Amino acid sequence: MLPGARRIASSEAGGLANVAFRNPDGSMALLVANGEPAARSFAVKVGKQAFTYTLPASSVASFTWKAPQ
């Protein structure tokens, strides 16, 4: 996440809290926290871009990518 980023979404589902941002350069950032005692898998889809990830128990991850065209 870059200085000046704007929050565009946030939610919590299945033990995963998350918040998404749009950076000033147009790229996207996502922070995901797993407060559960077990790993959790999730999928992210924005436009035609998508990825899946398994977040270990009691951990946090951040992701950044170019915004879809």
Cα gap 32→58, rounded to integer Å: 11
Q: Is 26 exposed, middle or buried (0-12, 13-18, 19+ CB in 10 A)?
A: exposed
- Which has more pLDDT, 11 or 39? 39
Structure tokens at 33: 């926290």
- The pLDDT score that the predictor gives to residue 69 is 63
Q: What domains are there in the chain, each with its CATH number?
A: 6-65 (2.60.40.1180)
Q: pTM of the predicted model, to two decimals?
A: 0.86
Number of neighbouring beta carbons within 10 Å of residue 34: 22
pLDDT bucket at 68, cuts 50 / 70 / 90: low
Could you read off the pLDDT of 13-64 as tens digits, one per residue?
878 999 999 999 999 999 999 999 999 999 988 888 889 999 999 999 999 9
Phi, psi of 35, deg, nearest 5: -90, 5
